[in-house]
Structure 1
Amino acid sequence: MSAIGLVQGSRAGKEAKQEPESEQEADSEPQRKWVALVSVPVLLGNEDDDRAQAMALGTDVQLDLKDPPLPSYLVLHPRVSPNPRSNEEPLSAYILAADRSGYILLQVVEGNRPDFFLCDTHSRTVTIIPPVCSYLRTGLDIDIRPNLSIGLIADPLRGHYVVAQLHPATLHRYRLLCYSTAKREWNVRYLTRQEDHLMIDTSIDNAVLAHNGCLWWIALGYGIFFCDPVTPVLELAELRFLPFPAGCQMNTYASLCSKHLKQRRCVRPSEGKLRFVEIRGFYCNVDWSISYDNVLFEPAVRMWTLEDPERPDPWTLEYEVPLADIWNNETYANARLPPGEVPQVALVDPNNHCVVYFFQGSKLFGFDMQNKQVIACKKCLIDRNKVIMFQSSRPIVDAWELSSPPPFMLSEDDGDLSSEDIVFPRGKKRRVCKFVHSWTSSRPVVGRTWKIASPPPDASSHTSGDQADDAPSSPKGAE
């Protein structure tokens, strides 16, 4: 069935036909803006940098946002580091998670030691997350592990968040190592597990994302693990497994080919549902390379939608588009993209599941699978092969939906800037989006907001042992 037929036959298409256009416009929310946020932030060299001096007093970050597929960046002031007075060791940073509420989970590595921060892009401040306390490290033998991904999810307590890392079972049960901004401490959640999937290795995850009140760990070789990390304390949280559609599950050996799987598969939210995208027709060689020779199927882009995890068959095929249809398209040639070369899957438009973005060399292009055309194509000059700790948490580039009030954006007459010019040089004009009044009326921030504060009065009542000495202040705007 064609992409057009499948889309028109979807539930959304049927509902659209039943409602008058005027009712749809009145009842539907405006589409949320989004950007292609690069996971490697721009670290300004020193406080004498013009861009650092241009930042408002009491702020530590700035956003340089562009319309996709142009890349957008998070810009960090030099003082955003565990030891801002020490410049002896090289600094690097990576975005682990970007929540649609405007909060970003960030790691800053000095030398080979990572520290974690929560960034509030509305107040443009950061809050440092303390290390895991000694009681959990020694008493429960659990600490943050660099080979496992870390997720960020909103807490039901308004304005608070939970940072979570899933630890596979060894001598212990499956565990979640969690940090709560409400309690300002690390804790451990023990998880139950579906017995029919006990043999599947949870450590082979390629990404983690927050969706529909759960964290979803993506194992691109065979399926998704998910659970609710903010389940009430008196209830036992359950870790569940959802296999990919029939014919899409690979054996453990092939699933270890994670670098190439990331180029050919992804799971992303779009229009309120999780979408699984795959370039079909490849297999992993013994040397971990990807091959399209002697395959049984013509290479094609396929998408499934996760309709309901409770259904016996939870996935619905949305469309399948042969790569030949993309290569032979006139708009593909007009974008000067190379014919016959298999692209790498990058992301899905969060507002339109028919639009998938791909990397082709140094270019990022979006292709509308329904209308069969390239809708945008721009250069995206980033190092996609750079190896960084916790990189499995978030792809090198991913869609980030912007919440209201939106951040400042560059003016349209700034044009296409290079990666050196892309981060708010002083004197540049800015275009202020809607809701600027509520954006600029954020509660003023004084001083260095990421300093560790005194522990909460009831810290001693928790089971975290000597956690009280490690507790930081909660993020600004989270009180």
Structure 2
Amino acid sequence: MSNSEAEAFEALEMHWGSNEIDGLWLVLVCVPHVVHGDYFVAPGVENGAKVGIPPRATRLIVHRSIAPRRKTIDDHPYVAGTDSHGHLLLYATQGPQPEPPVLDGFYRGPLGVHHGFPKAYFICDAHTHRSTRLPDPDDRPILHPGNAALVGVSREKFFVADLQPTVGADHSSLLLYSSVSQAWLECELNYPPHDRPWGANGTVVYQKRIWWVDLSYGLLGFDLSAPHRGLHFIPLPDGCELPPGTADLDKRRCVGMDMGDLRYVQIDERDGDPIVRMWTLLIEDTGTWTLNRAARFQDIWNDEGYKATKLPQEVPTVALIHPNHPGEVAYFFLHSRLFGVDLRTSKVIEWHFFQMLNPPIAYHSSRFVRAWEIRLTPTSAVDDSGT
């Protein structure tokens, strides 16, 4: 490890009081850093991580054989899910291995130039640094990483759930992979939205419950311990529904877990007075939300903590929700900074320059970061010096 990482882990060990860091959470960049073969010098090391203490960035590092294609904004490797046992679900387009001039940069050519190549899921283990490609589902191509979820049970056992809705019908296919059987099982489930296409804005997992997210419409809930119940539709809070395909919703909205509660954050800019609101899902079966906080950005901008960031009075983009803070804390991007705001008090609690050069800053949003709660040992990180 580098000196900075060693110091960070030493501080974390003092805080949690054990060699294994239990309760650690990280701000994970969803687009991994792709490296050449000579980057990992230790035998058997196929992935690693550059670890940063929140609100700094943590980034997965993978070998180019896993993600060989040039990155574009509509086709790039993507961390679709994580669990607390050190597993990461990585989606990546496969195909011939070109010699991109900048492995970590985004190719600025026409969009769609990589369509048609096969896609794959990998499980990257943060403890062993091994990357294992999952078998391809039978007769079912991988469609969208935003519909994939990783459910961790233990270090040895996990599930991958890939939802593939059938628009215009009342059913959908669920592809379920088990690490025990090492095979995919296809299940047919109901599809409550029927004729409405699904937004595929990611998934949220808590224990054995999965929520598929459409930031324009709502959530689809599923309980792995009670699969007979099928999918349950949860609409967004009243007044939040928008037409299908509304652009850039991940810049103004996000869904996440906070101490076991499912929360929804939204920025509104009505009447020239931008406001950020946070709701909590009270009753899933009835789709009942309660409004926790509504903070005016003018109050946030007037906070001395915000002034200390030297940021202008501009409406930021939503990044994520703090996963285990006793208050209602949301994080935002603005000009390469990530800052957290306690929405009860409209005060900035912390901020830092966020090292996510790619995708370009114009795309920074909740789509490209996730809160990763993990039991991690110091040896799970690798040195990223010299990159």
* Structure-1-length-normalised TM-score: 0.64
Counterpart code for 1:110: Q
Query: Hey, what does 2:304 align to over in structure 1?
Result: 330
Asked if 1:103 corresponds to 2:87, the answer is yes
In 2, distance between residues paired with 1:218 and 1:172? Answer: 18
Query: Hey, what does 2:108 align to over in structure 1?
Result: none
Asked if 1:423 corresponds to 2:357, the answer is no
Question: What are the superposed Cα offsets for residues 62-102 of structure 1, whole Å, 9 maximum, x if unpaired?
Answer: 12111112111111245546xxxxx8x65863211112221
Query: Hey, what does 1:127 align to over in structure 2?
Result: 132
Query: Hey, what does 2:259 align to over in structure 1?
Result: 271
Query: Hey, what does 2:200 align to over in structure 1?
Result: 205
In 2, distance between residues paired with 1:147 and 1:31? Answer: 28
Counterpart code for 1:397: V
CA shift at 1:303, angstroms?
0.6
Tell me, yes or no, if the aligned pair for 1:117 and 1:126 is still in contact at 8 Å.
yes
In 2, distance between residues paired with 1:379 and 1:246? Answer: 35
Closer, same or farther: CA 185–164 of 1 in aligned 2, 3 Å: same
Tell me, yes or no, if the aligned pair for 2:276 and 2:294 is still in contact at 8 Å.
yes
Query: Hey, what does 1:372 align to over in structure 2?
Result: 346
- SS of 1:131's equivalent in the other structure is coil
Tell me, yes or no, if the aligned pair for 2:91 and 2:145 is still in contact at 8 Å.
no
Closer, same or farther: CA 345–143 of 1 in aligned 2, 3 Å: same
Counterpart code for 2:79: I
Task: Name the stretch that deviates more: 297-306 or 98-107.
Answer: 297-306
Question: What are the superposed Cα offsets for residues 243-283 of structure 1, whole Å, 9 maximum, x if unpaired?
Answer: 12222223x2xx42142x1111110111111111111235x
In 2, distance between residues paired with 1:366 and 1:150? Answer: 27
Tell me, yes or no, if the aligned pair for 1:164 and 1:229 is still in contact at 8 Å.
no
Q: Which has the higher strand share?
A: 2
Counterpart code for 2:341: F
* Structure-2-length-normalised TM-score: 0.78
In 2, distance between residues paired with 1:402 and 1:148? Answer: 21
The within-5 A match list for 1:56-455 is: 56-78=42-64, 80=66, 90=70, 93-111=77-95, 112=114, 113=117, 114-133=119-138, 137=139, 142-146=140-144, 149-154=147-152, 159-169=156-166, 170=168, 173-193=171-191, 197-199=192-194, 201-229=196-224, 231=226, 236-250=228-242, 252=243, 255-259=244-248, 261-282=249-270, 295=271, 298-310=273-285, 312=286, 314-339=288-313, 341-352=314-325, 353-380=327-354, 381-384=356-359, 395-405=367-377, 407-408=379-380, 423-425=384-386
- SS of 1:34's equivalent in the other structure is strand
Question: What are the superposed Cα offsets for residues 133-158 of structure 1, whole Å, 9 maximum, x if unpaired?
Answer: 3xxx2xxxx33213762111135x87
Question: What are the superposed Cα offsets for residues 214-261 of structure 1, whole Å, 9 maximum, x if unpaired?
Answer: 211111112111112464xxx6341110112222223x2xx42142x1
In 2, distance between residues paired with 1:379 and 1:300? Answer: 24
In 2, distance between residues paired with 1:204 and 1:406? Answer: 38
In 2, distance between residues paired with 1:97 and 1:204? Answer: 17
Tell me, yes or no, if the aligned pair for 1:43 and 1:78 is still in contact at 8 Å.
yes
User: In terms of Rg, which structure is larger?
Assistant: 1
In 2, distance between residues paired with 1:76 and 1:127? Answer: 12
Tell me, yes or no, if the aligned pair for 2:333 and 2:339 is still in contact at 8 Å.
yes
Counterpart code for 2:156: G
In 2, distance between residues paired with 1:280 and 1:383? Answer: 27
Counterpart code for 1:168: P
CA shift at 1:304, angstroms?
0.8
In 2, distance between residues paired with 1:269 and 1:406? Answer: 25
Question: What are the superposed Cα offsets for residues 285-308 of structure 1, whole Å, 9 maximum, x if unpaired?
Answer: xxxxxxxxxx3x832111111123
- SS of 1:342's equivalent in the other structure is coil
CA shift at 1:110, angstroms?
3.4
Closer, same or farther: CA 90–309 of 1 in aligned 2, 3 Å: closer
Tell me, yes or no, if the aligned pair for 2:120 and 2:142 is still in contact at 8 Å.
no
In 2, distance between residues paired with 1:387 and 1:342? Answer: 14
Question: What are the superposed Cα offsets for residues 301-359 of structure 1, whole Å, 9 maximum, x if unpaired?
Answer: 1111112313x4621211111111011222211210111x1110101111115221101
Closer, same or farther: CA 107–174 of 1 in aligned 2, 3 Å: closer
CA shift at 1:406, angstroms?
5.6
CA shift at 1:384, angstroms?
4.0
- SS of 1:423's equivalent in the other structure is coil
Asked if 1:35 corresponds to 2:26, the answer is yes
Query: Hey, what does 1:25 align to over in structure 2?
Result: none
CA shift at 1:385, angstroms?
5.3
Q: Percent identity?
A: 30
In 2, distance between residues paired with 1:190 and 1:349? Answer: 34
In 1, distance between residues paired with 2:357 and 2:376? Answer: 28
Uncovered stretches (5+) of structure 1, i.e. residues with no partner = 1-29, 82-86, 283-294, 411-421, 427-479
Tell me, yes or no, if the aligned pair for 2:85 and 2:155 is still in contact at 8 Å.
no
In 1, distance between residues paired with 2:28 and 2:145? Answer: 23
RMSD: 3.1
Counterpart code for 1:211: Y
Closer, same or farther: CA 383–80 of 1 in aligned 2, 3 Å: closer
CA shift at 1:118, angstroms?
0.6
Query: Hey, what does 2:18 align to over in structure 1?
Result: none
Tell me, yes or no, if the aligned pair for 2:215 and 2:253 is still in contact at 8 Å.
yes
Tell me, yes or no, if the aligned pair for 2:320 and 2:330 is still in contact at 8 Å.
yes
- SS of 1:248's equivalent in the other structure is coil
Uncovered stretches (5+) of structure 2, i.e. residues with no partner = 1-20, 96-113
Counterpart code for 2:186: V
In 1, distance between residues paired with 2:362 and 2:144? Answer: 12
Question: What are the superposed Cα offsets for residues 191-214 of structure 1, whole Å, 9 maximum, x if unpaired?
Answer: 135xxx444625223111212412
